[in-house]
Amino acid sequence: MIRILDPGPQTTVQDLGRTGQMRYGIPPSGPVDRVAFVLANRLVGNPDTAAALECTLLGPRFEVDAPGAIAVTGADMPVTVNGREASRWATINVKPGDVVKLGAARAGVRSYVAVSGGLDVPLVLGSRSTYLRGRLGGVEGRALRKGDELRVFAAGDVRPRRVEPRAIPDYAGVAPVRVVLGPQADRFTGDGIRALLEGPYQVLPQSDRMGARLSGPRVEHARGHDIISDGIALGSIQVPGDGQPIVLLVDRQSTGGYTKVATVCSCDVGRVGQARPGQSLRFHSIDVVEAHRLRHESDAVLGAAVREEIA
């Protein structure tokens, strides 16, 4: 069990998300930064699907009541155990009574805390993920509060592991975000598409797990901003009448009636979700075949990212 002493502004339980519910209007939820989430689980010997914490901007403080391991990945939040600094992107062994604290993020927005065994909250529609707007899943469909006690599934011993430095994402980096144009790129003017691909766009503070709201050059529509409502994919860049893009994330609405100029590639969606308010983003257009190649490459990096430490 872990006991929440201080929850931080928005700490939720997430697993890899729900499938099959979007046709009923329920989004997948799950971690905004899937790669960081999966790595946290692998560092403590969990399956990728185990439930862990997603912490936003400022981490929680919690007490551990059993021996085990934890790992912290994602946004650069300083970690201490009983006041002593501990490594991120690495297995941390803990014993009963240890108090773990995550500080304020210095880069990125969301960090992940995995606990060996995985968090034991009820499965709702096949997933432990919290969907805050729908009050569904996780702990009573809400963010964690002071005093919450989360059960943890039993786990064996974990040999210390570490994420290879080259596999650790650079959240403050300026590498362009890759997008595939469409599904409604033909509803924008040539100048509108050029504006999108030249940028830059600043992330606005109103961004959340539903979408990253951006501000920058106007993405001009060719003929109106409304379409017959259709499904919204992960990373869709929706452009309402004001020409300012919104990148839709894991808690997105399942369908919508605004034009979508492009879709952020799955390997870069986490980086968009980790961009801090005020941080700049630039977009670069590629085709679907290239996007798949990048995805396979990023899966390969992920597959080789965790190494056991040599004593």
Partner 1 sequence: MRFLPAGDLAVCVELGEEISVEVNTRVRALEFLIQQKGLTGVLEMVPAYSSLLVYYDPRAVAYEPLCAAIAELAPQATTAVLPPARTVELPCCYDDPALGFELEAAARRLGLSTDELVRLHAGAEYLVYFIGFTPGLPYMTGMPARIDIPRLDTPRTKTPPGSVGIGGIQCCIYSVESPGGFWILGRTPVALYAPDASEPTLLRPGDRVRFRRIDRAEFDAISAAVAARTYRPVIA
Residues that bind partner 1 (CB under 8 A): 19-20, 22-26, 124-125, 133-136, 141, 179-184, 228-236, 253-256, 260, 263-267, 288-289, 291-292, 294-296, 299
Beta carbon nearer to partner 1, 228 or 311: 228
- Provide, rounded to whole angstroms, the least separation between the CB of residue 277 and partner 1: 23
The DSSP element (H or E) to which 289 belongs, if any, is: helix 288-303
Beta carbon nearer to partner 1, 45 or 138: 138
Backbone angles phi, psi at 165, to 5 degrees: -55, -35
4 by DSSP, 3-state: which?
A: strand
- Provide, rounded to whole angstroms, the least separation between the CB of residue 232 and partner 1: 8
Beta carbon nearer to partner 1, 19 or 215: 19
The DSSP element (H or E) to which 34 belongs, if any, is: helix 34-43
Beta carbon nearer to partner 1, 59 or 192: 192
Beta carbon nearer to partner 1, 69 or 181: 181
Report whether the peptide linkage leading into residue 217 is cis, meaning its omega lies within 30 degrees of zero.
no
CA distance 83 to 251: 34
Beta carbon nearer to partner 1, 62 or 131: 131
For 73, half-sphere exposure in the C-beta direction (CA atoms, 13 angstrom radius) is 33
Count, in order, helices (H) and strands (E) of the chain: 4, 24
Positive or negative torsion for Cα 142, 74, 281, 302: negative
- Provide, rounded to whole angstroms, the least separation between the CB of residue 220 and partner 1: 20
Backbone angles phi, psi at 34, to 5 degrees: -60, -40
CA distance 56 to 149: 19
Q: Are 183 and 238 in contact (CB under 8 A)?
A: no
Joined tokens for residue 262: 């492009």
- Provide, rounded to whole angstroms, the least separation between the CB of residue 175 and partner 1: 17
Q: Are 89 and 37 in contact (CB under 8 A)?
A: no
- Provide, rounded to whole angstroms, the least separation between the CB of residue 181 and partner 1: 8
- Provide, rounded to whole angstroms, the least separation between the CB of residue 15 and partner 1: 16
Beta carbon nearer to partner 1, 47 or 231: 231
Q: Are 211 and 32 in contact (CB under 8 A)?
A: no
- Provide, rounded to whole angstroms, the least separation between the CB of residue 229 and partner 1: 6
- Listed residue (27, 10, 15) closest to 211, CA to CA: 27
Beta carbon nearer to partner 1, 106 or 133: 133
Q: Which amino acid is at 8?
A: G
CB atoms within 10 A of CB 164: 12
- Provide, rounded to whole angstroms, the least separation between the CB of residue 222 and partner 1: 15
Joined tokens for residue 249: 């994330």
- Provide, rounded to whole angstroms, the least separation between the CB of residue 167 and partner 1: 19
Beta carbon nearer to partner 1, 169 or 235: 235
